[in-house]
Amino acid sequence: MTSSDFDSLIRSYGKWLSDNTTYTQLDEWYEVNVPLLDEGNDYTQFYVKPGKNSVTFSDDCATSRRLESHGMTVTESRLAVLKDILNQFWY
């Protein structure tokens, strides 16, 4: 595969993802559905709330419920590690 072929593949995938992503406005939040399947073969769904100088994302606790259903409990130390990871993405 050449670099040009790979670029074309990435563009094609991006177009497919964009064409198959839907959103619905719910007051000040947007519900976004992307065609990426979770373990239940459902589209991935998350919520976005645009702010003046920020954007808030939520999955309505779906991730934590999934982790708990697989036996992982969210402890204070695990939450601290998660916050450290997420803080790397704040500007």
Q: What is the mean pLDDT of residues 49-76?
A: 87
Given a cut of 70, whether residue 8 has pLDDT beyond it is yes
Would you give the distance in Å from CA 67 to the centre of its chain? 15
Average pLDDT of the residues of the chain: 90
Full 3-state SS string of 5-60: HHHHHHHHHHHHHHHCCEEEEECCEEEEEEEEECCCCCEEEEEEEECCCCEEEECC
Given a cut of 70, whether residue 91 has pLDDT beyond it is no
pTM summary value: 0.70
